[in-house]
Chain A
Amino acid sequence: MSDKAVPSSAKASAAHHNASRVTRHALPYFPGCALKDQARGFEDSARAAMAALGYELAELPRWNCCGTVYSLATDDLMRHLGPVRNLVRVQDLGETRLVTLCAMCYNTLARSSRFVGADPERLERINAFMDDEADYRGGVEVVHLLELLRDEVTFEAIEAKVERPLDGLKVAPYYGCMLLRPREVGIDDPDSPGVLEALLSALGAEPVDFPQKAECCGAYQTVSSPEIARARVGEIVSAARWAGAELIATSCPLCTYNLEHHQVEREERETRHASPVTRHEIPILYFTQLLALALGVSEDKLGFAGLKFDPRPLLSDRELV
């Protein structure tokens, strides 16, 4: 891959203490629909950042939509077909692990994998449904990139590779729901997570703590009851603002949409109601964009163009772009 070679050139010699764990092995990776559309910058920046760390995110062949939300009913086996077909693709490659970026894809795939893997009878019924596929044998582990960075790449190794420390940048880490709940698939404590903070600190940024970091953004209610999502986003963003955040980092294209869209809506409504407050909007970035930035990835690969609120004025103010 062309984007693999670029940032790692200067770092060929940086095969330091962690060399044994840096496999340079291509990691089967599931992008999901949003990362091919409104969240392109998430994928682009993740690929570039991983290349800088010596990994290749290798897109799963013939992947399909995960379904975005996990079915919570006992009799809805049909809804697990989408996720399981993707797991069959991983199995076809002779691999046992699938890396995800989108928090919703992660949750849906990881839960489905556990659900069908937990019961041989269930697995058999699923396989009977998919008569055009090789039987899924179970055992594919779905991991989120943040877990991989924490447990395998390690934040120490990342810190050692930082070329552009995000000094003094105040970032509110926003987890939302799907990275943390339920516990069986959560990558961190469901009420008081810290993995994003640890990553941000490794990058030199200043993580800003705020109580709403693991609260729901309104999710798909943005379609049916946008006023509810707007209220949620209002609470989240104003709390981050109060805590001093200049940026919010997310791991979910739906959180990002809600935080961006309803932030504007709120500002508009508040202005209409003659509020004298003029405030700048807080840019919402994917955590991979900050990671790539700190690792020295060139600006054109950071995917800032797709963001609603351009972080570049702030970043150039800090001499980061």
Chain B
Amino acid sequence: MAERIDGDALRVTRDAGMGSENYPSRVSRHPLRITAREPDFVAKVEELCGENLYACYQCGKCAAGCLFADHMDFLPNQVLRLVQLADEAVLSSRAPWVCASCLACEVRCPKGVDIAKVMEALRLLSLRKGETGLRWGEIPPGVPQIALVGATRKLTP
């Protein structure tokens, strides 16, 4: 992290008392507390996804309609917020890996933000550092080619 606001060392913190298990409920979400900023981060994500990230006004419509939000640690709008606040901690969120690029959020965002593109940009930032969202040994037997090609293109470097 290049820069800290007010000298506070806190990064995004998750409240362990509010659903620290893998699948927090829809209502109990982690409060966002941001202090560590990476100034180039927003520009980097914007360049990769081609979206204006500051257009988002946090209405939450994307999260309300996301059918995968139940499996995410941060809701889609929270992911957006973290990126706006330039906190690279968002890169360790589970949300971009759970996103199925279904585009339900994309057609509904009143500000025209394509969140699926933001999710893809975040995945790519991790994938290009060599991380992966798919462990070969855990692929269920019998999945068809169409699923394998889709998953490897989205979830592997």
Residues of A within 8 A of B (CB): 33-34, 37-38, 65, 67-69, 71-75, 79, 102, 104, 177, 180-183, 186, 190-191, 215-216, 218-226, 228, 231-232, 253-254, 257, 261
Establish whether residues A104 and B102, one from each chain, have CB atoms under 8 Å apart when the complex forms: no
Chain A positions within 8 Å of B133 at CB level:
224
Chain B positions within 8 Å of A74 at CB level:
47-50
* B interface residue count range (under 10 / 10 to 19 / 20 to 34 / 35 or more): 35 or more
Name the residue in B47, B107, B114, B147 with the highest tally of chain A Cβ atoms < 10 Å from its Cβ.
B147
Q: Is B16 an interface residue (CB 8 A)?
A: no
A102: min CB distance to chain B, Å: 8
18 contacts between A and B (CB under 8 A): A38-B146, A68-B149, A69-B149, A71-B153, A72-B114, A79-B153, A104-B150, A181-B106, A181-B107, A182-B106, A215-B102, A220-B100, A222-B147, A223-B139, A223-B151, A224-B97, A224-B133, A225-B98
- A224-B134, A225-B98 known; A257 vs B146 contact (CB < 8 Å): yes
Select which of B48, B108, B139 is within 8 A of A73 by beta carbon.
B48
Instruction: List 16 additional contacts besides A72-B114, A182-B114; criterion CB under 8 Å.
Output: A34-B144, A34-B145, A71-B153, A72-B117, A72-B120, A72-B121, A73-B121, A74-B47, A177-B102, A183-B107, A219-B100, A223-B155, A224-B138, A231-B70, A257-B143, A257-B146
Chain A positions within 8 Å of B57 at CB level:
none
Residues 109-136 (chain B) with a chain A CB within 8 angstroms: 114, 116-117, 119-121, 124, 133-134
Establish whether residues A253 and B146, one from each chain, have CB atoms under 8 Å apart when the complex forms: yes
Select which of B50, B100, B143 is within 8 A of A216 by beta carbon.
B100
Establish whether residues A38 and B144, one from each chain, have CB atoms under 8 Å apart when the complex forms: yes
Establish whether residues B144 and A69, one from each chain, have CB atoms under 8 Å apart when the complex forms: no
- A221-B98, A232-B67 known; A68 vs B150 contact (CB < 8 Å): yes
Tell me the dominant secondary structure on chain A's binding face: loop
Chain A positions within 8 Å of B153 at CB level:
67-69, 71, 79
**A65 to B138 Cα, complex, angstroms:** 25
Q: Is B29 an interface residue (CB 8 A)?
A: no
**A181 to B144 Cα, complex, angstroms:** 23
Chain B positions within 8 Å of A38 at CB level:
144-146
Name the residue in A69, A104, A180, A182 with the highest tally of chain B Cβ atoms < 10 Å from its Cβ.
A69
- A181-B107, A224-B155, A254-B150 known; A72 vs B144 contact (CB < 8 Å): no
Establish whether residues A181 and B71, one from each chain, have CB atoms under 8 Å apart when the complex forms: no
Select which of A190, A191, A254 is within 8 A of B146 by beta carbon.
A254
Establish whether residues A228 and B68, one from each chain, have CB atoms under 8 Å apart when the complex forms: yes
Establish whether residues A37 and B101, one from each chain, have CB atoms under 8 Å apart when the complex forms: no
Please provide the 9 A-B residue pairs with the shortest distance between their CB atoms, ordered closest to farther. Answer: A220-B150, A216-B102, A223-B151, A181-B103, A72-B120, A220-B151, A74-B50, A190-B107, A34-B146
B100: min CB distance to chain A, Å: 4
Establish whether residues A221 and B103, one from each chain, have CB atoms under 8 Å apart when the complex forms: no
A259: min CB distance to chain B, Å: 13
